[in-house]
Amino acid sequence: MGSMKLGSKPDAFTRRGQAWFCTTGLPSDVVVEVGDMSFHLHKFPLLSKSAIMGRLIEENSDRDECIIKLSNIPGGAKSFELVARFCYGLKIELSSENVVYLRCAAEHLEMTEETSGDNLINQTETFFNQVVLRSWKDSLEALQTCDGLLPHAEDLHIVKRCIESLAGKASIDPDLFGWPVSEHSAMQSPGGSVLWNGISTGAKVRNCSSDWWYDDASSLSFPTYKRLISAMESRGIKQEIIAGSLTYYAKKFLPGLNRRQSTGPMPLTAATLSDEEQRHLLEEIDRMLPLQKSLISTNVLLWLLRTAMILKVDRACISNLEKRVGMQLDEATLEDLLLPNFSYTMDTLYNVECMHRILDHFMAMDQTTGGASPCLDDVMASPSLAPITAVAKLIDGYLAEIAPDINLKPLKFQSLAAALPEYARPLDDGLYRAIDVYLKSHPTLPEAEREQLCRLIDCQKLSLEACTHAAQNERLPLRVVVQVLFFEQLQLRTSVAGCLLVSDNLEASSRTLRSGNGGAMMATSGEAGSWATVAVRENQALRVGMDSMRLRLMELERECSDMRQDIQKLGRGRYRRHHRRGAGVDKDGGGWAARVQRMLTPKMMKLQMCSAQQDAAAPAGEQQQQQLVMSEQHKRVEKLHQAKVAKHKKQLCMDNDDDDDA
């Protein structure tokens, strides 16, 4: 830290309680009162340096005791003590900590060159320009002292000059020189080596990153810090550096310091501010943050959003933070998205409405950047679709996390799940898991609402593992289970057709080899032919099994139709109340059978028309496993059918008992 000594006389000031005395051997003839402190001094040293003191002494000269009150001197008693020492020619040391106090006090007391040569204004101004403004640390300390000297420091342009000095030094790229501009204690060469007595030692100093000034700037009051950032932006400093400094400042002064921040220097503790001050600070930081995407990490933005909800800041600030998160939602993590509900008007555990708004902002941005509906084959291959597929995975995970909340309404759950387009999910396994968790946590959910939720699932986009789980899931509606079984059979049919195509190609190639190569290749072709014969036999057996499955499904449809007719016959002789109940059973029984028939009939036709010319191919060694899978599925259908029949029989018995009672 730079300093300069003024005066040469030894100290002759003594403090006694709330009073200062000048022990020069002469009795004091003037008392200067500054606040609670009184200074017993002499008239001549004061009026010889200060025009203001000369006029005040003259005004009080006719009184028995000359008492002068200085109530508005900048810096109070601390500043006047240094001024009095200067007037007496005593030793004082100018530094970055007191130069602003002395400069403002000297201006207030009119200690100009007209009053005395080389006066205090000239000396403090020279020290400030030649020493303080050349150093980052001294400029920072001088700027910090200006907060208690406003508006005097502002009128003298001290604040502006300090800010310009700091902004200029922070705008310099440290990589150009190899050392931070704030260091001035050690001499260094432009090449980065340390100088000793003007000679390079060859030792390289450590390179400094562009965030070297973050901690120093965060020590400033926010109005001063805001002016510093504005000056840096006017000098063209990079936006990511500005964003980093704002983030650092927010984490230092706002509660809830990021728990998972593990890299980079961070403040040890957050400064203590009132709720109103924190609210104002957060709103101002939101206005100052650059609008470019990815300048601030998504977890920091979500932390700011969480803090804004806790502090109940202005609605416009919360909306702006939600838009910022939505711009880069694909970079978020599931843990950060789980924003608790801090509102008393909503009864859900997590703020689902906020998550829905964030997703809407992301979808709006995706559409403006040229997002379209591609075919499913291009979803995984296109780099432009990577963000929306990542968001779909996040949303499915978010739905699975909030699903156990008993207060979460089905409509709200369904609305969030349906906000994404179909092409965003290459597979629906995550969505199926979330819906299954919701159904498990809400066992009393009506059947109609269960079916409404399950319509979100595209059974054709379920993996084999998900299909196996869904086929055995008792929480799913029967229609969904049958649909899953059908598409699983369709996949098996495609695989079998591929196996047939492979076997036909092998058989044709064996005939070609047998006719073209003669006796030398007969053994090899014979082995290939025998393998092809076995594959054909296994394929025929598998085809018979599939035909049996198709016939069994048709039998199920006929049995359901018969059940509907029986229910209709029983309901004809009942009362109106029983007739309505019978109509309900008819709706559950016959209507379900009709829906299954309407759903399966065109798909069965498609199944029969499936040709062996399809492109998909499966190894012939997997055919036995596929047969076992078909057998298991056949058993599942039998089990589901028996359960449905038992349910309707029980309903018929209950209806008959009601008739007897009537």
Condensed to tens digits (0 to 9), the pLDDT of residues 643-654 reads 655 665 565 566
Average pLDDT, whole number, for the chain? 77
Does 371 have pLDDT greater than 60?
no
Confidence of residue 355 (pLDDT cuts 50, 70, 90): very high
Does 335 have pLDDT greater than 90?
yes
Does 527 have pLDDT greater than 70?
no
Mean pLDDT score, 356-362: 96
More confident residue, 548 or 146: 146
pLDDT digits (tens, 9 = 90+) for 237-280: 999 999 999 999 999 998 764 444 444 444 434 457 888 999 99
pLDDT digits (tens, 9 = 90+) for 560-579: 667 667 666 665 554 444 44
pLDDT value at residue 186: 41
**Bridge partners, residue 37, by sequence:** 34
Residue keyed to tokens 């179909």: 422
Domains (range + CATH), the chain = 3-112 (3.30.710.10)
Q: For the packed helices 447-454 and 429-441, what is the interaxial angle rounded to 10 degrees?
A: 160
Does 178 have pLDDT greater than 70?
no
Confidence of residue 358 (pLDDT cuts 50, 70, 90): very high
Smallest CA-to-CA distance from 226 within 268, 280, 294 is with: 280
Alpha helices in 610-622 (DSSP H): none
Mean pLDDT score, 426-436: 93
User: Beta-carbon neighbour count of residue 628 at 10 Å?
Assistant: 10
Confidence of residue 27 (pLDDT cuts 50, 70, 90): confident
Smallest CA-to-CA distance from 75 within 156, 187, 162, 193 is with: 156
Q: Is 469 helix (H, G, I), strand (E, B) or coil?
A: helix
CB 95 within 8 A of CB 124: no
CA–centroid distance for 35 within its chain: 52
Phi, psi values for residue 183, rounded to 5°: -85, 125
Does 530 have pLDDT greater than 60?
no
pLDDT value at residue 562: 72
pLDDT value at residue 498: 63
d(C-alpha 61, C-alpha 67), whole Å: 9
CA–centroid distance for 414 within its chain: 23
Q: Which two tokens stand for residue 388?
A: 């929306």
Gyration radius (Cα) of the chain, Å: 43
Burial of 196 (0-12, 13-18, 19+ CB in 10 A): exposed
More confident residue, 474 or 618: 474
Q: Select, from the ranges 25-34, 124-133, 258-267, 606-615, the one with the highest average predicted confidence (pLDDT).
A: 124-133
Confidence of residue 600 (pLDDT cuts 50, 70, 90): very low
More confident residue, 458 or 602: 458
User: Residue 601: which residues within 8 A CB-CB, separation 6 or more?
Assistant: none
Q: Which two tokens stand for residue 386?
A: 């990577």
Smallest CA-to-CA distance from 41 within 110, 87, 102 is with: 87
Mean pLDDT score, 192-204: 47
CB 200 within 8 A of CB 193: yes
**What is each CA distance from 416 to 79, 352, 379, 394, 611, in whole angstroms?**
65, 8, 21, 12, 40
Confidence of residue 639 (pLDDT cuts 50, 70, 90): low
Burial of 639 (0-12, 13-18, 19+ CB in 10 A): exposed
User: Beta-carbon neighbour count of residue 118 at 10 Å?
Assistant: 10
Mean pLDDT score, 456-475: 87
CB 304 within 8 A of CB 282: yes
User: What's the DSSP call for residue 114?
Assistant: T
More confident residue, 612 or 448: 448
| Whole-model pTM over 0.85 | no
Least confident segment among 132-146, 163-177, 246-260, 302-316: 246-260
Confidence of residue 472 (pLDDT cuts 50, 70, 90): confident
Mean pLDDT score, 158-182: 78
Confidence of residue 287 (pLDDT cuts 50, 70, 90): very high
Does 199 have pLDDT greater than 70?
no
More confident residue, 505 or 345: 345
Mean pLDDT score, 58-86: 88
**Strand pairing class (199-204; 193-196):** antiparallel
CB 604 within 8 A of CB 547: no
CA–centroid distance for 596 within its chain: 45
Confidence of residue 581 (pLDDT cuts 50, 70, 90): very low
Smallest CA-to-CA distance from 639 within 529, 485, 510 is with: 485
pLDDT value at residue 533: 64
Q: Which two tokens stand for residue 411?
A: 């409509």
